[in-house]
A and B are shown apart, each in its own frame.
Chain A
């Protein structure tokens, strides 16, 4: 048993993968708490897909170098967030429709750009589904730095974000800067998505944002507990998922997400059974 646990740890790239998966899980679950409570799952999914054209441009311009990808992805997601806001505020188009239009359009642009390169299917799969085992030491530092900034920001504006999410009218009568705070929250979600890109990829990102936080939401009644528990579930899923990936030879991002989904399913069934008995 011990051997089974220790065996993968002899590889440095797997240890880096563990660290990346745990950090990304924690960051996504903390930010994802607000995604779940505010009903922004579709927005989160769209934002994740919208970083693809940025990644593609960065990939083409930097001829495959990893470093600049991060910043291009960031630019792309911020543009998408602003575009969605402008379209839904400035016309009779509803927000979810605006999200659909921007998300599909930007995703298509990303696929088109990447397909212009020879051998694109390999690279596209890499961006869509992530490659946590390809994380470099530099990537780890980037995740740690931005993750730290995200979590500190959430803690600093904890009570403001809570009021804004629970009762926007109260936030307005307490004269909180609601638009600034909402914009800040969108930026936090965007940054969390970008730092998580390499772990689960664009297509499965929404699971990291939503599933662990939703699992925690099922069992807790306090906001700080929901964040902490969501982060714990996500970090453990990252570790368990990588072991699954190692021993069953399945894609690492998919293995992590499936572990999160399984924990959610078990929790949901347990709670439903308990309710039926009560």
Chain B
């Protein structure tokens, strides 16, 4: 069965055939999505829609299912139940969806430079047995320009700073000509200046009508920088404007015992997740 599916996808590669985009439908429509791992619920009856060029922060504690949600939307993971539609069809035929990985998921000693890595995004467009053509290099250089990395194109990837590595992955998604970008914790472990660079790039992307889902850890940043946020802990606990979603009771049910509640001047509660691990630092704001 898997081999048959694989052959079908090879067919896609050779013929350059990808499902057409239905302009009448939202970019992303998720209906009653459930994902189970060994009987454990990772995502529980998720339903939402996303219009074109929307930028949505996905916030929740560690293990809330953010990465799982992204992988299902990317068509990399099969849902146990429910439907995911991207541009009106199932995601696993599209090559316009980019998953921008966490920096910790990558082997940085791999012998490639920045331009090589960004070129990897073009492979879906090139097809089997084809070498990059002038147009592909043009796209790669433009993508590097957008994220301000042109001067580092020939650097080995381990020689980049954390912020530069993150920008390189966004450039790769641009080279892929992705219309839907799923960014998994793009701000984790970055200093304030590097985070600012990422936000500037996100603004540019939004002007180019790229739709973005951004997994975040920092509730304050999500509230300040996004018009809409999703509070996720296996279920959707809230979706909408930050001041409506980040209410005391919703946050309490998302984070359970793992939270600090600090009243601020505006009367908004600033909350921090204290169950963090690895390079995801916990942020406490006053």
Q: Which B residues touch A172, using CB under 8 A?
A: 74-76
Q: When A165-B110, A221-B113, A222-B111 are in contact, do A175 and B71 touch as well, CB less than 8 Å?
A: no
Query: Which of these, B3, B98, B110, B128, contacts A173 with CB under 8 Å?
Result: B98
The 8 A CB mask of A159-178 against B (1 = contact, 0 = none) is 11011011101101111111
Chain B residue nearest to A168 in the complex (CB):
B76
Chain A CB within 8 A of B26 CB: no
Q: Which B residues touch A165, using CB under 8 A?
A: 110
- The answer to whether A170 touches B120 (Cβ under 8 A) is yes
- The answer to whether B116 touches A173 (Cβ under 8 A) is no
A61 to B7 Cα, complex, angstroms = 38
The 8 A CB mask of A187-226 against B (1 = contact, 0 = none) is 0000000000000000000000000000001001111011
Shortest distance between the CB of A117 and any CB in chain B (Å): 40
Q: Which B residues touch A178, using CB under 8 A?
A: 6
Q: When A167-B101, A180-B3 are in contact, do A222 and B95 touch as well, CB less than 8 Å?
A: no
Shortest distance between the CB of B91 and any CB in chain A (Å): 9
Q: Which A residues touch B10, using CB under 8 A?
A: 177, 180
- Residue among A156, A159, A160, A220 with max Cβ neighbours from chain B (10 Å): A159
Q: Which A residues touch B97, using CB under 8 A?
A: 173
- The answer to whether A177 touches B120 (Cβ under 8 A) is no
Shortest distance between the CB of A171 and any CB in chain B (Å): 8
Chain A CB within 8 A of B252 CB: no
A156 to B13 Cα, complex, angstroms = 14
Q: Which A residues touch B76, using CB under 8 A?
A: 169, 172-173
Chain B CB within 8 A of A37 CB: yes
Chain B CB within 8 A of A118 CB: no
- The answer to whether A175 touches B9 (Cβ under 8 A) is yes
- The answer to whether B95 touches A173 (Cβ under 8 A) is yes
Chain B CB within 8 A of A179 CB: yes
B145-199 residues at the A interface, CB under 8 angstroms: 156, 172, 176
A180 to B97 Cα, complex, angstroms = 22
- The answer to whether B116 touches A180 (Cβ under 8 A) is no
Chain A CB within 8 A of B93 CB: yes
Query: Which of these, A170, A177, A226, contacts B7 with CB under 8 Å?
Result: A177
Shortest distance between the CB of B217 and any CB in chain A (Å): 20
Q: Which A residues touch B18, using CB under 8 A?
A: 175
A159 to B116 Cα, complex, angstroms = 10
A162 to B157 Cα, complex, angstroms = 15
Chain A CB within 8 A of B92 CB: yes
Query: Which of these, B9, B13, B71, B112, contacts A166 with CB under 8 Å?
Result: B112
Q: Which B residues touch A163, using CB under 8 A?
A: 120, 123
B1-55 residues at the A interface, CB under 8 angstroms: 2-3, 6-7, 9-10, 12-13, 18
A157 to B10 Cα, complex, angstroms = 13
Q: When A169-B74, A176-B13, A180-B3 are in contact, do A160 and B123 touch as well, CB less than 8 Å?
A: yes
A120-179 residues at the B interface, CB under 8 angstroms: 156-157, 159-160, 162-163, 165-167, 169-170, 172-179
Query: Which of these, A156, A176, A180, A225, contacts B129 with CB under 8 Å?
Result: A156
- The answer to whether A177 touches B92 (Cβ under 8 A) is no
A160 to B43 Cα, complex, angstroms = 32
A21 to B107 Cα, complex, angstroms = 32
Q: When A166-B110, A169-B101, A173-B97 are in contact, do A159 and B126 touch as well, CB less than 8 Å?
A: yes
Q: Which B residues touch A162, using CB under 8 A?
A: 112, 116, 120
Q: Which A residues touch B2, using CB under 8 A?
A: 179
The 8 A CB mask of B236-269 against A (1 = contact, 0 = none) is 0000000000000000000000000000000000
Q: When A174-B95, A176-B13 are in contact, do A37 and B120 touch as well, CB less than 8 Å?
A: no
- The answer to whether B106 touches A166 (Cβ under 8 A) is yes
- The answer to whether B120 touches A175 (Cβ under 8 A) is no
Chain A CB within 8 A of B124 CB: yes
Chain A CB within 8 A of B99 CB: yes
Chain A residue nearest to B92 in the complex (CB):
A175
Q: Which B residues touch A223, using CB under 8 A?
A: 111-112, 116
Q: Which B residues touch A159, using CB under 8 A?
A: 120, 123, 126
Q: Which B residues touch A169, using CB under 8 A?
A: 71, 74, 76, 99, 101, 105
Q: Can you report 30 A-B residue pairs in the complex whose CB atoms are below 8 A from each other?
A: A156-B129, A159-B123, A160-B123, A160-B128, A163-B120, A166-B120, A169-B74, A169-B76, A170-B99, A172-B74, A172-B76, A173-B74, A173-B95, A174-B176, A175-B13, A175-B18, A175-B93, A175-B95, A175-B124, A176-B9, A176-B13, A177-B6, A177-B9, A177-B13, A180-B7, A221-B112, A221-B156, A223-B111, A223-B116, A225-B111
Given A175-B92, A176-B124, A222-B111, 10 extra CB contacts under 8 A? A37-B107, A159-B120, A162-B112, A165-B110, A166-B120, A169-B74, A175-B12, A176-B123, A178-B6, A179-B6
5 nearest A-B pairs in the assembled complex, by CB-CB distance: A174-B124, A221-B156, A177-B6, A172-B76, A177-B10
A-contacting residues of B (Cβ < 8 Å)? 2-3, 6-7, 9-10, 12-13, 18, 71, 74-76, 92-95, 97-99, 101, 105-107, 110-113, 116-117, 120-121, 123-124, 126, 128-129, 156, 172, 176
